[in-house]
Structure 1
């Protein structure tokens, strides 16, 4: 397994063109991932490298998200999950946390019209009760006003932690068992998945990890069981349409085995 990971890391990004049209021509529309997950990492480092406040990096990261959402919708990818703020991120300096909360409210207000125009449905996943009231109100508005979006489901993970998601699912199932609505022997993977924040969506086919980090950072732990990983040294604010297309081309070059010997085509 380690050798397979090493071989994948050796796949040079420079082998792929940086021309959007050329990359799109390399894609097979019938074999695109149904669900792509993205860990939006590297905003702070991007800013520090330029001698700028970390807040500037977070704003630049919003632009990257906008471009990826646009392209995912254009290509017909059904779902995109973006890790925006983890349960661990509360440990950051208070001023940075406060800025991120306000940035989310700003995102909801400024991006709404485009999200509606592009038929994007927004769902925010995480422990929303732990967020400031102003942020919860922005979330409610964004989800309500994009409810009719049919082209792309955008999952924004805010105050999200996969371990807590699993705990919440276990608690919900336990309550149903206690109330006699569910028998223990009826609990299987399908039942468990239906109690996760991502219920109703397919598991991610592809996870994109910018900034060169080789960890999942408590993101979608249950759902990533057979997900293909794409790691790039590109920091999130520099991750745009070309980088997203390169990740998709890399994904389509692989053969997925799902733990078995028989090879399965991607997609």
Structure 2
């Protein structure tokens, strides 16, 4: 992996920094997203109201915006936070959940894309649709494999000068020039609601730690999820036991163990 620091070193740096991450996420995801960030070593703040979202973005290390349970009253807060992050040169991450499903969602995501997200994180169907390609998604679920969205993700990254992460059976991240695949995880992960949404928030924690290296930050977050998901999956009996085991793995893994167990390859 060609980065200035290894994923394990970035994990150590993130924990030392304990970055404050503003998580504008959906109703289903708030609890698990907060617990994932706390277990990994970051500080989550679920601040989304229009009256304070922009002001809070000024003190946060990064802003993450997830449109999962979208409503008109929340859009203004998303807009304020993204604009504030952009003005201050802070990273902000967009999770365009099922943006293709309705005209309301499409319009909101088009507006947010115009605010130049630093990183875009989605499943394959979401990324394919965002790039204007054919997709097979249904609701929030992807009907496409992650690597099938590779060319679309690379084109999207170049078009918007953003880092794009596609998660699924194999995760990968691209900045339009470099593309890295990350293997691991567990088949139980899609059976636990909002883990993908929580991953978006975790990307924010790493991006806040090394804002000048969004590609490396995203790769480290995906690698941490993959390694810890695989470890938890080996012990879990089902999705109910997987979630606490996964949080325990996020909390207990060290940088050296992360580097020893990650599986990445340049594409």
TM-score normalised by structure 2 residue count: 0.34
Higher relative contact order (CA 8 A, sep 6+): 1
TM-score, structure 1 as length reference: 0.34
